[in-house]
Amino acid sequence: MAGKEPITSTSVGVSRQSVHRRALDIARALMIYGLLFGGAAVFSIPFVWMIGTSLKVDREMFGDTITLLPQAPIPAATSPHLDGNYFRVSRHEMADRIEPWVLDGIRNVTLPPESALLPDADVAHLLFPGVYRKLRDIMPTDHWQLPDDSLRREVESRISSTMVEQVFRAIYRPLVFSSIRVRSFDLQEKELTTDRPISEIWALNDDAPARMIDDADAVGPFGVLAYDFSGPGHRDSVRLSTTLTLPFAAERLFRIQLSIVPDDSWHRLDFAFERNGVLYRGMRPAYLGDNQAMVITLQEYGPEDQSHSGKIRLWYAAREVDRGSQYESRPDHVKVIVTMTESSSLQAWWAKGYRNYRGALNYIPFGRYVATSAFLVILNIVGTLFSCSLVAYAFARLQWPGRQFSFALMMATMMIPPQVTMIPYFLIIKHLGWYNTLNPLWVVSFFGNAFNIFLLRQFMKGIPRDLEDAARIDGCNFMQVYWHVILPLIKPTLACIAIFTFMGVWNDFMGPLIYLADQPLYPLSLGLYALNVQEGGNYGMMMAGSFLMTLPVVVIFFFAQKYFIQGVTLTGMKG
């Protein structure tokens, strides 16, 4: 047809080459982006591990298996209960093969007496993962290849009451209430639960789906709170209260200590107490998110609860919320109220995520440490940018005798290891009377830094001199040229140096360790070290504090990466 070019072999070849070239470009782009995303995923593993560890409880970090992410908290509807997630067994052919034999062996042994407190459930199925794990540990490998009859006899012969009891104790979760102690402001202390059983000490609300059971064989007061939130139309809370006679006047009461063993149910506990006609309510709840014994300490909110006090706040502060004759007002009595509320799955996740971060904030004055670190960061950034830009301007744009020699001498200082100057600098600081002050950590920034000066000088040398000459024609002196012409043009490099300075000062540990002795002066880096000393075995709490310290660095670098890249790529370009 007219107007159309004929299709030739040459045009077909060109079209094929174009398609081939486009396919190669797409494949190259996919490969580059794949490498970028893969590298980002690999390098983000430590950060993800840190976040995951900050959400874990102790048993998840010291168990037989290591996992990147925390286990899901599962609120228990009944207690006591057996934790079916404690022993994790992957289902495979061997486990399925011996499961009926193991279940028969468990049912044929005598269970511990605590099993009578459990609700109607197939206890044998809950014990199977733990018993199977123990059999895998003690049976020789070649025995697992025996025929069914021989393997069954071997399995049944190794299942004993002792083995089943060990597994039962490992996953048995009761909510235990034990002793109650009181302490006065005069350090007079006494336990108030030695003369009667726990069931007589704690009174439950009439419609509570729970009962208190005493353990007669236990040493000291020991009672298990058995509850059931699973029934139709059940209440989702239990209220316990007790009125105690104090060995001193009620106004001298300093703190109340309740000994509890949680049942790993992640339910919420709220606390309150009454004395002298005043009701005090706890400012934060506790969660039953573990199975290790704990002491709940209640005391009235006071100066020690302020973040600047530096105290390790392991108590639960209570504020006055009401007054009246309906509250306990006898001069030597106090009434303690504990309310347990059922948690949903979302509330349990919130409690688990909140647990280690709350602990880190209680163990150290986190706000004070952050304020100190921010103060040092601001002064160091201001000092570094001002001094380094001014010196770099003198080296790059001004002509003066000895400039090249001075620049070479300054660059030579970069070859001196900081360990060599550490002791002389410390002696100078001590002679100036600056030891145990913040001055050594920021004053030195106003004297320049060789690397930053070099970075700025290289950038300034690329600025056209026509701009400087035009400013001088308009009547600007050297300082006006520096302020109105040079500084606006080197903003990317200044931003890059500011980021480097922020990261260096924020993460600086050695400087504060050498020059500071009083804990109230610590920045956050050294404050986390103090947390490690005070609570060294709690890695979840340590990771929570480390994440809080790392988060500002990640956020600032994410939002300032444009200036960082510009500062690095443009440095040294000639005009």
pLDDT > 50? residue 238: yes
Q: Would you state the pLDDT for residue 347?
A: 93
Which of these ranges, 154-158, 165-169, 233-237, has the smallest mean pLDDT?
233-237
**What mean pLDDT is predicted for residues 349-360?**
90
> Tokens 């050498």 map to which residue?
514
Backbone torsions φ then ψ of 280, nearest 5 degrees: -110, 130
> Given a cut of 60, is residue 268 above it in pLDDT?
yes
Query: pLDDT at position 349, please?
Result: 93
What would the two tokens of residue 426 be? 């410390």
Q: How far is CA 103 from CA 93, 128, 458, 500, 523, in A?
A: 16, 7, 77, 62, 57
| Measured distance CA(47)–CA(442) in Å, rounded | 30
* Structure tokens belonging to residue 182: 């009181």
For 429-488, how does the pLDDT look when each residue is reduced to its tens digit (9 = 90+)?
Answer: 999 999 999 999 999 999 999 999 999 999 898 888 888 889 888 888 888 999 999 999
Q: Are strands 316-323 and 294-300 parallel, antiparallel or unpaired?
A: parallel
Radius of gyration in angstroms for the set of CA atoms belonging to the chain, rounded to a whole number: 35
pLDDT attached to residue 329: 92
Alpha helices in 232-365 (DSSP H): 345-363
Write the DSSP string, 20-58: HHHHHHHHHHHHHHHHHHHHHHHHTHHHHHHHHHHT--H
Looking at residue 537, the DSSP 8-state letter turns out to be T
Q: What is the pLDDT of residues 29-66, one digit of tens each?
A: 899 999 989 988 888 888 888 899 899 888 787 766 67
**Confidence at residue 509, expressed as pLDDT on a 0 to 100 scale:** 92
Q: Which residue has the higher pLDDT, 217 or 492?
A: 492
pLDDT tens column, 199-211:
889 999 888 888 9
**pLDDT confidence band for 377 (50 / 70 / 90):** very high
- Residues contacting residue 252 through CB under 8 Å, at least 6 positions apart: 184, 185, 186, 188
Q: Which of 443, 444, 439 is nearest to 521 (CA)?
A: 439
End-to-end CA distance of the chain: 58
d(CA 287, CA 270): 9
Question: Across the chain, what does the average pLDDT equal?
Answer: 86
Residue 91: its pLDDT value, please?
64
Position 572 confidence tier, pLDDT thresholds 50, 70, 90: very low
The mean pLDDT of 330-357, rounded to a whole number, is: 93
Strand extents, DSSP E, 219-325: 223-228, 237-245, 253-261, 268-275, 278-282, 286-287, 294-300, 316-323
Question: Which pTM was predicted?
Answer: 0.80
| Residue 551 pLDDT | 87
Give strand ranges (E) for 408-449: none
Encode pLDDT of 384-433 as tens digits.
999 999 999 999 988 899 999 999 999 999 999 888 989 999 999 999 99
The band of 499, judged by pLDDT with boundaries at 50, 70 and 90, is: confident
Of 517, 524, 516, whose CA–CA distance to 547 is shortest? 524
Instruction: State the pLDDT confidence band at 232, using cuts at 50, 70 and 90.
Output: low
Confidence of residue 220 (pLDDT cuts 50, 70, 90): low
pLDDT at 513 over 50: yes
- Work out the pLDDT band at 574, boundaries 50, 70, 90: very low
